[in-house]
Structure 1
Amino acid sequence: MILEVAILNVKSGQEDNFEKDFLIAGQYISSIKGYLRHSLRKCLEQKNKYILLVDWENLEDHTIGFRQSAEYLEWKKILHHYYDPFPIVEHYDIIIENENKNNS
């Protein structure tokens, strides 16, 4: 599994519209082969800063399967005008993973 991480700086004052449009755009990324899950998280310190986390089965599912698809063109049309600056997207592999098993 590969984790895609993108820091999203949304133009100030556009946060509500961005969040609404992100809900719509989610249908496009989630339809791609190899997509596992995603979450969008909002920064507590900066109201216009978000982090996007997407789990993919492998790197190519994102870099080729999604980015070279018609679904990506729709995603791009809905979301890319919100960003300033345009986000840097990186991919991470799990080295160590742990969870708290005491929270039942």
Structure 2
Amino acid sequence: MIIEHALLPVLPDRTEEFEAAFDRARHIISAMPGFRSLSLSRCVEAPATYLLLVEWERLTDHTEGFRGSPEYLEWKRLLHHFYEPFPTVRHFDPVPAGAADPAKPQ
């Protein structure tokens, strides 16, 4: 599993419009092969910043499958004009519990 992480800096006067557009866009990504789950959270200290976390089966499900799909063009049309600056997306590989347990023999 891979976790996509993006901090979304939304234009402050467009947060309500962004949330409505995101609700419409949610079905696009959730229908993609390799998609597992999605969460969108709003920052308490900076209410125009959102945290997007998407779980994918594999990195290529996002970078090639979703981003290379016709559906991604609709995702972009619905959402990309809300960001300033454009967000940086990072991908994370979860570390299993106990992976660095010093008591475990190597």
Same fold (TM over 0.5): yes
For residues 61 and 16 of structure 1, what CA distance do their matches in structure 2 show? 29
What TM-score comes out, normalization by structure 2 length? 0.90
Counterpart of 1:56 in structure 2: which amino acid?
W
3-state SS of paired residue (2:78): helix
Runs (5+) with no aligned partner, structure 2:
99-106
Rg larger for: 2
- Cα distance, 1:97 vs. partner? 4.6
- Equivalent residue for 1:71? 71
1:63-103 residue CA offsets vs partner (Å, 9 max, x unmatched):
000000011000000000000000000000011359xxxxx
Matched, 1:96 2:96: yes
- Identity across aligned pairs (percent)? 48
- Equivalent residue for 2:87? 87
- Equivalent residue for 2:37? 37
Counterpart of 1:55 in structure 2: which amino acid?
E
1:49-72 residue CA offsets vs partner (Å, 9 max, x unmatched):
000000000000000000000110
1:16-55 alignment runs, 5 A limit: 16-55=16-55
1:10-53 residue CA offsets vs partner (Å, 9 max, x unmatched):
00110000000000001110111000010000000011000000
**Equivalenced residues, count:** 98
- Equivalent residue for 2:61? 61
3-state SS of paired residue (1:14): helix
Segments of 4+ in structure 1 off by > 3 A? none
Quote the RMSD (CA, aligned, Å): 1.1
Runs (5+) with no aligned partner, structure 1:
99-104
For residues 54 and 34 of structure 1, what CA distance do their matches in structure 2 show? 11
